[in-house]
Amino acid sequence: AQSVAQPEDQVNVAEGNPLTVKCTYSVSGNPYLFWYVQYPNRGLQFLLKYITGDNLVKGSYGFEAEFNKSQTSFHLKKPSALVSDSALYFCAVREGKSGGGADGLTFGKGTHLIIQP
Amino acid sequence: EAGVAQSPRYKIIEKRQSVAFWCNPISGHATLYWYQQILGQGPKLLIQFQNNGVVDDSQLPKDRFSAERLKGVDSTLKIQPAKLEDSAVYLCASSLNWFTETQYFGPGTRLLVL
């Protein structure tokens, strides 16, 4: 079975400072990893994904994430936080495999990111 | 490109009543998913369709939940009868096919069961 852990319920960062939202995962086989953001009363918006290749993945709105296989982590980062980055962030995983079949995502419980002016 | 559409956006019902949610995926997307997001938790997959066939419904409570995707486009998720614990946001997502890997989500339907 696959699982995702987001150890922090909330992360507080001052505007302009770098931010990190942590995610660790467990999956048999190769992991496909995703970050989504959710604003109030909105659906999930895709930020970035790691499938294969370079361990540093760049995504939307200046976000990036670093895949670390040995630590089974996929932390979300941004060099300089904006107040508008305040939202709920979800990490998700599924097992990478060839051929068709079930590929639903397993999500973490989410981390509230609060950027203080 | 239009996103995933869902309706209604909000629904309030009493327990033991029935309710249905509708989803229209992004045009051309073969794979469609329904997720349940309970307050304070991440989304949980209920069912996955590939065209109009079910790929995975292992987490769907089949005694009360049902879903269909006729003609491989729109999909409907139904709950009958509803329980208090079904109060959640129901999210629909679609992807071009399983190769594409990225799932795009609709705005969700917020259900409150009283």
Would B69 be classed as within a structural domain?
yes
Would B67 be classed as within a structural domain?
yes
Q: Is the peptide bond before B43 cis (omega within 30 degrees of 0)?
A: no
pLDDT at position B100 is 60
Task: Give the residue numbers spanning the domain of B10.
Answer: 5-108
Which residues in chain A have Cβ-Cβ distances shorter than 8 Å to B57? Answer: none
Would B87 be classed as within a structural domain?
yes
- Residue B89 sits in a domain whose CATH number is 2.60.40.10
CATH of domain A3-97+104-116: 2.60.40.10
Would B114 be classed as within a structural domain?
no
Flag whether residue A49 sits within 8 Å of chain B, measured between CB atoms: yes
More confident: B85 or A53: B85
Which residues in chain B have Cβ-Cβ distances shorter than 8 Å to A105? Answer: 43, 45, 103
- Domain coordinates in residue numbering, chain A: 3-97+104-116
Under DSSP, is residue A90 helix (H, G, I), strand (E, B) or coil? strand
DSSP-derived pairing of the beta strands B109-113 and B10-13: parallel
Cα–chain-centroid distance for residue B11?
14
Residues A78-103 have a mean pLDDT of: 87
CB nearest A104 (choices: B33, B107, B108) = B33
Are residues A102 and B107, on separate chains, in Cβ contact within 8 Å?
no
CB nearest A105 (choices: B45, B58, B110) = B45
Residues contacting A99, CB < 8 A, separation 6+:
none
Number of A/B CB contacts below 8 angstroms equals 64
Would B73 be classed as within a structural domain?
yes
Question: Do B3 and B57 form a contact (C-beta atoms < 8 A)?
Answer: no
Would B61 be classed as within a structural domain?
yes
Number of domains in chain B: 1
pLDDT at position A98 is 62
Q: What is the pLDDT of residues B11-57, one digit of tens each?
A: 999 999 999 999 999 999 999 999 999 999 999 999 999 988 999 99
SS3 per residue for chain B: CCCCEEECCEEEECCCCCEEEEEECCCCCCEEEEEEECCCCCCEEEEEEECCEEEECCCCCCCCEEEECHHHCCEEEEECCCCHHHCEEEEEEEECCCCCCCCEECCCEEEEEC
pLDDT at position B71 is 86
CB nearest B108 (choices: A43, A46, A106) = A43
pLDDT at position B1 is 64
Under DSSP, is residue A96 helix (H, G, I), strand (E, B) or coil? strand
pLDDT at position A29 is 85
How many residues can be counted in chain B?
114
Which residues in chain A have Cβ-Cβ distances shorter than 8 Å to B103? Answer: 34, 46, 105
Answer whether residue A95 shows pLDDT above 90. Answer: no
**A contact residues 1-40, partner B, Cβ 8 Å cutoff:** 4, 32, 34, 36
Would B113 be classed as within a structural domain?
no
Angle at B61 between CA B37 and CA A43, to 5 degrees: 20
